[in-house]
Structures are given as structure tokens and as C-alpha cells.
Structure 1
Amino acid sequence: MTDSRHSAAPSGGNPVAPGTDTRTAADVVTPALVARLARGVTGSGEAVSHAPFTGEVLARLPASSPEDVAAAFDRAREAQRRWRQVPARERARVLLRFHDLLLDRQYEVLDLIQLETGKARLHAHEEVQAVAVAARFYGRSAPALLRPGAHTGVLPLLTKVTELRVPRGVVGHIAPWNYPLELSAGDALPAFAAGNAVVMKPDTETALSALWARELLVEAGLPEDVWQVVLGEGPVVGPEVVARADYVTFTGSTRTGREVARTAAGRLVGSSLELGGKNAMLVLRDADVERAAAGAVRACFSSAGQLCISIERLYVHSSVADRFLERFAARTRAVRLGRSLSYGADMGSLASARQLETVVRHVEEAVAKGATVLAGGRPRPDVGPFFHEPTILEGVEPPMAVCTEETFGPVVSVHRFATEDEAVERANATPYGLNASVWTRDGRRGREIAARLRAGTVNVNEGYAAAYGSARAPMGGMGDSGLGRRHGTEGLLKYTEAQTIAHQRVLPLGPAFGLSDAAYARVMTAGLRALKSLRVH
């Protein structure tokens, strides 16, 4: 996809990175590729995806009817009965083989991610990194986490208690468009490791990346029917998935997440939801200003801000605000826009006209009500139909929409604060609680401030990647940002049911050997006192 424009934009706007890859979308998404990947979709209708770099049709894939969704669940249930019998260590080996295949053939999916989302290649590579980390972690840890566990019974030695982890069955997974590899394959891997099948509805606009991952996982040894894919309009296909699943995972808006949770709860099945955010970054008075400015660019504008955990509110101590904003604005104005299938661009496109419309509305309304643009502020149709400059706003106050609504684009509002207590209070003054960031030279102080922030993950001297990339630790939201966690032990065990098997030996838990009820009660009372004295848990 050639980008022959000059490296400097007119009127002082963000520069355009020269493209070094001359391939077009048609060179990558060939009819043969689409036909091959389409074999993984259950459906006979037609679903159309588009390329954000140009707005043109990218692929035509099968669309699924409610009957197709039912058929996918039938196949998944049949396959899951066999898959759950495969030893956990063998299931984990599939993930480890997938890890190697993914890294070896990453260039294939990097092209697809870029063409489907419009993001810069480096940001597409973040998805490869995240999925590889998840595959390695669960490939190494799942057998131990799923191993039967022994517990002390009510009568030690006489009561043998075993805890089993039983797969839930068929997981219904609804994945969004913004991270089409990570939020499809990355979330499915622990479900497979736990012995489940998955019926997934990826967003139609980014289904090729998910289908590519499915194909690669089948090559790594996953039985083909264990991962079913259905496509179609969210309000049509999504409820069909939720209505049949034994457990539901969803990443998307808070409004839709509430509907998913209500439906799942009504069926008495569990759900895990990662929803919206209005994430805050705090720059303390002792922060390394240069480092914080560079980190803020990554935190605010990666994937053009279309990341649930990206920063949209920035609070800076008044003593360093001028210096920080000078460096942050300069770095933001230097961000190179680009749409080439090569490394070099710092930021790509928004994904759609709808996303661009929201960004433009938020910026224009804020400016009309008194906010000041410190950098950016404009769409860039000279680069592509949905490009928008990375934008810094100051003077943002209620009732501006950008103040409280999730923009989900390359826009950040900056605010000055006088005390750390004030900064914490303002950062927490939102119903969301997904991610946050603290910048300081004092690591211990940074962690203390982090612990006061109401967010599922908080990064010290990084924007989001430190917490998200640490797959051994849980990641998720508080408040309106969701339920449950991905990653860590919970990211695997949520796909299981705990089953306790207690085997009572020799003596029953009741009067025996001629003991009266009163005598039995006295014996048990003495025994309970003794167990406490012996520090038995």
C-alpha cells in the first residue's frame, strides 16, 4: 500500500511517514485467502468488511443466521465432549505450538490487522506480543492450575477432600474490532486450555484476523470443531450466542455489556466483561518530564487511541505542567501518520466513519465551549478517509462530552493539579475504573498513589503495557468498566467450575458406636477446640 506523500503535512499538521511497502489490500486479501478463511465460518449469507486506510471493501464473508448459530453450538458441544478428555498437558502443548507458529508467521497477520483496523504496524505488533505471552503463560501454567487439589477435610485424615476443575462446556465469546487478534485468540486460549469449546462472534469488520488465528491454532493441533466462528450484525447474532453459551465473555461498550450480563444472569450462567474506560494518567511533581511526555504519547495515541486502556485524561502537577506540556505537545505534533504495510508510522487511522465522527464531535464541541487545542485537532483526509491528528485539549470542563464520555480516539484532555490528594480525587471521579498511570521518580510513592486509584490495573512510569503485558497478573475493570478478569490464574479458572469430592473414611459424621446425640456433640466440640489449638486450617 503505497504512501507517496511528502513527509510534512500542510499548515504545520502532523507529518506523514513515507511508506516503504508498495502492496495494496488486494495483494494481501486475495480471493484465495478469503475463500480459505471463510471455511471457518458457519453461515450462508454475506457479511462485508472494509479497509479503513481507503474505505474500500476488503472482504466478503459468510453471515450467520440464528439457525447457523445453533448449528455451531451443536458441533462445538460434540467436539467439547472429546476435547475435555484430552489431558491438560496435551491441550497446553497445542498452545505452545501455536506460540511458535504465531511468531514464525507474524508477518501474515500483521498485514491483516493493519488492513482491518487501520492501525500502524508497530501497534499491530503489540497484538502479536500479547497473544504470544498469553500462549506461553497458559501453555506452561495450565496443567498445574488445573491439577486436582487436595484440601484438609472436616476430620483430618478421615475426610479426604479433592477439588477438581471442570470445564464449563461451550464458551460464547463476543470480540470487538479494535484488537482483532488479541481479543479473539488471546481470550480463547485459556478457554481451550481448560477443556472448553468456543463459539466466537468477532466483529465482521475484523473477522479475517480471528479466522487466521483459528486456522493457525488448528494447525497447532486444536480439533477444528472446538473453535466455531459465526458472523453477522451484533444485535442479531450476539444475543443468539449469549442465549446458548455455558459461559459468556464480552469486550465492548458498557451499555451492551449490561445487556449481556442481564441475559447471562437470567440463564444462571457466568460472564466476564471488559467494558469502557475514561483512563487517567497522573504526572507528579517529581516526574521525569521528558520520559513522562514520551510515555504519554504511547499511552494516549497507540492504535489511534482505540484501546480500552489508553489514556484520555491527563493530570499534571502545576509545578511541572508548563514544561511537561511543552514537551508533550512537541512530541505529539511530531507523530508521523501513515497507512503503509511497513514499520515507520507512529499512528494509523481510525477504524471507521463512525469513530471519526465521534472524535470530531468531541473536539469541535470542546473548542466551541472554550477548550484550547495544544496540538492536532483536525481530521486528515489527505492521508486517508478516517485519519485524525493526535489531539491535546486544555480547559476541558463539564458539560463537554469529551470530559466524561469515552472518546475512543486520539484525544486527551489535560488538567493541572496542586496536591496529590486532589489528583487522586479527580482521577477517581468517574464511574469507570479500567486503567490508570502514575509518573514519578519515587517508585514507592508511585505505588502508594497507584493503590489509591480505583482502577483494575495501574502502571507506574508506563501507560498501559506494563500491567497488560504481565500475563501472570489479572487484568480487568472496576465499576462500569466490567466484571471478571482476563490473564492470571483467574483468566483460566473462570472457564471452569469448581467441583469438590469428599470421601469420608472409617468414621461417619454423625453419632456412631452407641454414642448419644449429646455425647456426639461433646466429642465434636472437643475435637473442634483441639483442631484450633493445633492451628489446623
Structure 2
Amino acid sequence: MTDTLDSQPVPSTTAAADGRTAADVVTPELVARLTAGVAGSGTTACHTPFTGQKLADLPEATPEDVERAFRRARRAQRDWERVPVRRRAAVLLRFHDLVLERQREVLDLIQLETGKARLHAHEEIQAVSIAARHYGRKAPAYLRPRRHQGAVPLLTHVRELRHPRGVVAQIAPWNYPLELSVGDALPAFVAGNAVVMKPDTETALTAMWARRLLIEAGLPEDVWQIVLGDGPVIGPEVVDRGDYVSFTGSTATGRAVAQRAAARLVGCSLELGGKNAMIVLDDADPDKAAAGAVRGCFSSAGQLCISIERLYVHEAVADAFLERFVARTKAMRLGSALAYGADMGSLVSRAQLDNVTRHVDEAVEKGATVLAGGRPRPDLGPLFYEPTILEGVSAPMAVCAEETFGPVVSVYRFSDEEEALALANATPYGLNASVWSTSPRRARALAARIRTGTVNINEGYAPAYGSVQAPMGGMGDSGLGRRHGSEGILKYTEAQTVAHQRLLPMAPSLGMDQEGYADFMTRSLKALKAFRFR
């Protein structure tokens, strides 16, 4: 019933090309160095999805440990916010250099903790480096005091100041343990905040590696606190103590986080789920679109909020596109080596594998056709699943509307551009989309009508995400707020307006009575409009 991949490697260990294994990488010395300063009265463990073996024992926090972590962070934050912003920004620039110099060590950790291919792990290196450089260069401009026109020109001088919120509570997910931990924390730090972060326990080594490197770059140690523990137990303890909440994860959990933050009148930013669409127009290049679909659908085994799960192809190019897309997918190499070469790695957990299997099997039972993949690969490791293309998907199949978060894409044919737009927008999610066309003007016009926070033309997700001067985030059930750009740092600040009234008060003066003052202000307001004051 399903097609198999023709040329799969069959690795049986997590050994790299030079013979290194998980035990060679995650040594007791490394674990001791990374866990230094991490609060925890108990012990928990992390494992590698490649084999299921334990990687390390880690400190597990209690609610009391979380409270102590926040106390330390608050004390440290008071001193950190007094450091000039340019000195804070210099820490990020030093961190940028250290990440690039020592990337091999963290690439090994990312692979071992997430199961992803090394090239996809390197996407995290790229994203974090770009963010560190951007905020290291631009933070002083984003945060500088700004002058605004006052209520009465010349008499009212107004300045807008930006103050750090205090201690940011951050919940970081498992799928991008470097980028979605330190990458989101960097603008908070340079804005003068401290951070108490709860990363996923199974991918905590990567986050702790980033913490040690940022401390080496000059961040005071207590400014970044990490606590580990069971999500339903420790997560609320973190959320309930923050002055602002940054969360990346599922839509269901995001709603609960938003409710807890709202109950305390605390701001939050949420990047949540997606059911992202790719539209291939009738003038698209089938070869380039097929290659882009492989990247957009199967990077990090599809465990990416902005990856493509719905693929709409114009009937005029559908056959040519699918021939190329299926061939490229079947030729993908799966593997677990700690080296470049594999095109896709493993899923991260049994829960992810079960969800992917459920979606595909149910779709097939209800009439969908598997064009490529469609089965687990226990010969490669306990959590491997082939990159999968489905056709003939329709409601009420779960894969039609639910987020799969795995290497599965459903292909639909269309005949009219308006039809494709309606189908792409027929979802409560609104995170990312992709449009393929040889006409930039046509593609941009369609992109502007798609209800998503980002749209990529002739690529799946990387250009929009990597363009960190521009905001990135979701609409609808895909979240609140934005990362990157000015919004990505100003959300970690409180705006304060300081208005200085000079010479004359905002009240009757110079012998005017109330009626005379009202008449004077009326004439003044009309004059300001006539002279085009804003």
C-alpha cells in the first residue's frame, strides 16, 4: 500500500564519522560544567531519540527552587539594567562569535537531544547568530529615548523612555532547543531584563550550553536562571512569577498560559501551532518548487511550527511537480550520524511518532493515497518515520485540519487562484505560508491576501524567519505578539512618557478666564490642523 524509500542508510548507533558516540560527547565533565548554577533539589534525566538511551542526569526543580531562582534573578536584574545598553549589546556580539567558533559541540548536543539531521541543527546556529548580531548592533537604537511632538508645540517637550520589565518568564520548547531558548532571550537581556527559563527537560543540555556561553561572553550569571521539571508542575510556577511571559508551544497550552498571565495583568507573547500552506501557481518552475517543498515540509522531520503541511498545486503543473517532488522525497537519506550527510533525522518522542502514525494510517483507511513514505523505520532507530506525501486527503481525516508536526504533507490540486487562496485561509491557524511563481508581482499580490504572520515567496520558511529586522509571529490560533525586529525587543520593555510643560500651563493664564481659554485653544487646534501638524 505504501512506497518505500529506495536508498536509505541503516545506521545502528549514534556514532559520528570519526567514531564518536553519545557517551563521548555528553561526558560527566560536560554535564557538570553545563549544570553549574542550575537550581534543583531533585534529579531528572534526558535521553536521545536516536536510541532511547539516557544522556545525562540533570537537576530537577521544586516550586521552592523556582521561587529561589526568581529571587536571584530579581537581585541580579537591578544591577544589570544599570549597565549601559551598549555594554549589554557588546555581550551579544561576543556571544555571536563564540557560537560560531564552538558550533561543533552544540551541533552534537542538538542532534543528540532532538534527533534532527546535522544540517537542520545548523539552522539553529544560523538563526541565533543572526539574532545576536542584529540586537547587538540595533538594540541601542531600538531602546534610545525618543522625542515626540507635544500637546502644545514649542511649549510641551515630550520624551518616550523604555524601561525593562524586570524578570521575564520563558517557556522554551524541545524542537529548536538553541534558537527558541537563547534566541528568544537575547533581546530580553539586552533590554535590561533577567530571564527565568524552563526549557524542555529532554533538550535542556542545549539551553544550558547556551547559558554557559553567554556567561562567558559577559552576562552576569544570575541574570539567566534555568529551572527543569515536569511541565504541568513547574511551568505554572514560572509563568506565575514573571513580569512578562514568553511562550512557544502548542495552542492548547498557549491559551492556558495567556489566561494565567491575564489574571495578573501581565503581558505575554505566544508562538503557537500552524497548519501552513504552500501554493504552487501555474507559472511556477516545477523543479525549483519540488526542491523547495522538500525543505519546507521535511526540515527537522517536520517538527517545526512554520513547516509546510498543506500543499496546493495548480492542475496545470501538478503532474510535473509531483513527479519531481515524489522522486526527491523517495531519494532522501535518513540517518543518525553526528555528521553532515543525512537529509532527515528522527522524530523526538514516542508521542510524536504515535501522532504521525495515527494521522497517516487513518487517512489511508479513509481513502487517501500514499505517494511516498508512509511508515515508521525501526531499522534506523525507535522513532524514525519516512518523509510522507499524501494525496486524496479530505475532511474528516485528522491530517486534513490538525497540526501533525511531523514529516507528512497533504497535496491538493486546484484550478483557480481564488480557490487556492480560500483553501489556504480555511484554517484557524495563521503562522506561515509559501507561494511559488515566476512572477514576483503576482506572487506578492497573492501573499498579501494570505492570513498568516509570514509569507515566503519561492521558499518555504527560511527567508522570512531569517530576516530578523522584520517581525515574525502568528495570527489567529497561531499566537500573540511577534519576535524579531523592533517588536521583538520592545515587548520586553515598558514605555514611559515624560512630558515637560514650559512657560505656560495647560490651563487659563495671562489673565484669560475659562471661556477665553477655551476659545483660545479652539482657535489654536484649528490652526494646528491647517498647518498640518501631526
For 2:136 and 2:243, locate their aligned partners in 1 and report how far apart those are by CA, in whole Å: 23
The answer to which of 387-396 and 19-28 deviates more is 19-28
For 2:151 and 2:437, locate their aligned partners in 1 and report how far apart those are by CA, in whole Å: 50
Which one of the candidate residues 176, 179, 183 is aligned to 2:173? 176
Tell me which residue corresponds to 1:49. Answer: 46
- Aligned alpha-carbon RMSD (Å): 1.0
For 1:12 and 1:135, locate their aligned partners in 2 and report how far apart those are by CA, in whole Å: 39
Residue 259 of structure 1 and its aligned partner are, at CA, apart by: 0.2
Matched, 1:224 2:195: no
Residue 11 of structure 1 and its aligned partner are, at CA, apart by: 6.0
Tell me which residue corresponds to 1:499. Answer: 496
Which one of the candidate residues 331, 336, 339 is aligned to 1:339? 336
Q: 1:376 to 1:240 in 2, by over 3 A?
A: same
Task: Specify the code of the residue in structure 2 equivalent to 1:533.
Answer: A
Which one of the candidate residues 7, 24, 44 is aligned to 2:21? 24
Local SS of the residue matching 1:396: coil
For 1:290 and 1:117, locate their aligned partners in 2 and report how far apart those are by CA, in whole Å: 30
Give TM-score scaled by structure 1 length. 0.97
For 1:201 and 1:411, locate their aligned partners in 2 and report how far apart those are by CA, in whole Å: 29
For 1:162 and 1:508, locate their aligned partners in 2 and report how far apart those are by CA, in whole Å: 18
Residue 13 of structure 1 and its aligned partner are, at CA, apart by: 4.4
Which one of the candidate residues 181, 186, 199 is aligned to 2:183? 186
For 1:339 and 1:486, locate their aligned partners in 2 and report how far apart those are by CA, in whole Å: 31
Q: Output one character per residue of 1:254-276: Cα deviation in whole Å (capped at 9) or x when no partner.
A: 00000000000010000000000
Matched, 1:143 2:140: yes
Tell me which residue corresponds to 1:445. Answer: 442
Q: How does 1:347-358 map to 2 (within 5 A)?
A: 347-358=344-355
Q: How does 1:366-515 map to 2 (within 5 A)?
A: 366-515=363-512
Q: Output one character per residue of 1:182-218: Cα deviation in whole Å (capped at 9) or x when no partner.
A: 0000000000010000000000000000000000000
Contact 1:14–1:376 under 8 Å retained in 2 = no
Local SS of the residue matching 1:182: coil
Task: Specify the code of the residue in structure 2 equivalent to 1:147.
Answer: R
For 1:419 and 1:294, locate their aligned partners in 2 and report how far apart those are by CA, in whole Å: 23
Q: Output one character per residue of 1:21-69: Cα deviation in whole Å (capped at 9) or x when no partner.
A: 4211000000111111111311111111110111111111000000000
Matched, 1:15 2:20: no
Tell me which residue corresponds to 2:61. Answer: 64
Residue 15 of structure 1 and its aligned partner are, at CA, apart by: 1.4
Local SS of the residue matching 1:319: coil
Q: 1:281 to 1:14 in 2, by over 3 A?
A: farther
Contact 1:40–1:211 under 8 Å retained in 2 = no
Q: How many residues align?
A: 528
Tell me which residue corresponds to 1:202. Answer: 199
For 1:297 and 1:528, locate their aligned partners in 2 and report how far apart those are by CA, in whole Å: 60
Q: Output one character per residue of 1:449-484: Cα deviation in whole Å (capped at 9) or x when no partner.
A: 111101000000000001000000000000000000
Matched, 1:307 2:292: no
Which one of the candidate residues 133, 137, 159 is aligned to 1:162? 159
Tell me which residue corresponds to 2:243. Answer: 246
Contact 2:5–2:372 under 8 Å retained in 1 = no
Task: Specify the code of the residue in structure 2 equivalent to 1:246.
Answer: D
Contact 2:346–2:384 under 8 Å retained in 1 = yes
Give TM-score scaled by structure 2 length. 0.98
Tell me which residue corresponds to 1:6. Answer: none
Q: Output one character per residue of 1:358-384: Cα deviation in whole Å (capped at 9) or x when no partner.
A: 111111110010000000011001111
Local SS of the residue matching 2:68: helix
Q: 1:423 to 1:21 in 2, by over 3 A?
A: farther
Tell me which residue corresponds to 2:294. Answer: 297
Local SS of the residue matching 2:246: strand
Residue 513 of structure 1 and its aligned partner are, at CA, apart by: 2.1
Task: Specify the code of the residue in structure 1 equivalent to 2:291.
Answer: A
Q: Output one character per residue of 1:430-463: Cα deviation in whole Å (capped at 9) or x when no partner.
A: 0000000000000111011111101000000000
For 1:286 and 1:354, locate their aligned partners in 2 and report how far apart those are by CA, in whole Å: 40
Local SS of the residue matching 2:320: helix
Task: Specify the code of the residue in structure 2 equivalent to 1:261.
Answer: A
Tell me which residue corresponds to 2:79. Answer: 82
Tell me which residue corresponds to 1:361. Answer: 358
Local SS of the residue matching 2:60: coil
Contact 2:4–2:372 under 8 Å retained in 1 = no
Contact 2:118–2:342 under 8 Å retained in 1 = yes
Q: 1:526 to 1:245 in 2, by over 3 A?
A: same
Which one of the candidate residues 253, 257, 262 is aligned to 2:254? 257
Residue 98 of structure 1 and its aligned partner are, at CA, apart by: 0.3
Local SS of the residue matching 1:415: strand
Residue 17 of structure 1 and its aligned partner are, at CA, apart by: 7.5
Tell me which residue corresponds to 1:3. Answer: none
For 1:165 and 1:332, locate their aligned partners in 2 and report how far apart those are by CA, in whole Å: 49
- For structure 1, the residue ranges without an aligned partner over 5 or more in a row are 1-9
Matched, 1:110 2:101: no
Local SS of the residue matching 2:97: helix
For 1:444 and 1:393, locate their aligned partners in 2 and report how far apart those are by CA, in whole Å: 31
Local SS of the residue matching 2:316: helix
Local SS of the residue matching 1:58: strand
Residue 509 of structure 1 and its aligned partner are, at CA, apart by: 0.2
Contact 1:92–1:140 under 8 Å retained in 2 = yes
Contact 2:10–2:379 under 8 Å retained in 1 = no
For 1:476 and 1:22, locate their aligned partners in 2 and report how far apart those are by CA, in whole Å: 41
Task: Specify the code of the residue in structure 2 equivalent to 1:245.
Answer: G
Q: Output one character per residue of 1:227-266: Cα deviation in whole Å (capped at 9) or x when no partner.
A: 0000001000000011000000000000000000000001
